[in-house]
Amino acid sequence: MGHSLCIDIGNTRGKIAVFKDDNLIFHDFRSRLSKKYIDGLLDEFDISSAIISSTKFRNTVFLKALKKVIPVIELSYETPIPITNLYSTPETLGMDRIAAAVGAYTKDTKKAHLIIDAGSCMTLDVIDADGNYLGGNISPGIHMRIKAMNDHTDKLPLVDIEYHEDIIGQSTVMALQNGAVRGTLFEIQAFTDHIKSQFKGINTILTGGDAEFLAKKLKSKILANPHVVLEGLNKILRHNA
């Protein structure tokens, strides 16, 4: 069996990975994907199948071209997966969320998992130790919080993301930064503490563009895994082989 190509298209960038069996051998980030870029991957690796998860589109030039040369799964709520999806509206569920749950659970099937994806939006999702995806929450990510406060007011400025040791903002800029950054940290910490009280020994994973930044600031030790969605996509692809 050749290599597998996994593509996760988020709100701001595309994440690409090539796997040999369960081993990640290549990964990349792109603001946009082109046929030329995909052709380069096909030339470099012995890719025999692909899977794509997207929050933005169903079809593009590169995807049409890819389908002509290898089998491609466009992940949807109807795609068979190696966990049980208990979401009440599976057709509305972001495929990156279910892929992350698959990636987390298939690495350790004896534990419940909390997956926190800190990207444009922040998602907090739970899968129990029996492999049941239970759902989760969605809230604005750090960048979205900062941008929204500027967009939806007349006087609040657009500020850079910065962490302050002092929890009390002493200027409007600092207050906005604390509100966005500290607010995100408080939300993660409170949700994590609550979930830990319900699921003993739950494993917590932090992923997404702001994962490393947040992991350094959180009081709880949380494992940062930037590839959990891609790993889940690979598992779903292999499940459907």
List, for residues 46-104, the tens digit of each pLDDT value.
Answer: 999 999 998 765 557 888 889 999 999 999 999 999 999 999 999 999 999 999 999 99
List, for residues 179-199, the tens digit of each pLDDT value.
Answer: 999 999 999 999 999 999 999
Q: Is the pLDDT of residue 2 over 90?
A: no
CA-only gyration radius of the chain, Å: 19
How sure is the predictor about 220, in pLDDT bands with cuts at 50, 70 and 90? confident
Q: For the whole model, what pTM was predicted? A: 0.92
> Residue 126: helix, strand or coil by DSSP?
strand
Pairwise CA distance, residues 177 & 59, whole Å: 38
Average pLDDT over residues 10-37: 91
Short-list 240, 231, 190, CA closest to 106: 231
- Res 59: pLDDT: 54
Average pLDDT over residues 29-54: 92
**Would you name the residues annotated as active-site residues?**
96
Pairwise CA distance, residues 29 & 67, whole Å: 21
C-alpha separations of 131 from 22, 81, 225, 235 in Å = 19, 11, 19, 14
Average pLDDT over residues 117-122: 94
List, for residues 160-171, the tens digit of each pLDDT value.
Answer: 999 999 999 999
* 150 touches 158 (CB < 8 A): yes
Q: Is the pLDDT of residue 10 over 90?
A: no
How sure is the predictor about 13, in pLDDT bands with cuts at 50, 70 and 90? confident
- Res 172: pLDDT: 98
- Res 158: pLDDT: 98
Q: Is the pLDDT of residue 4 over 90?
A: yes
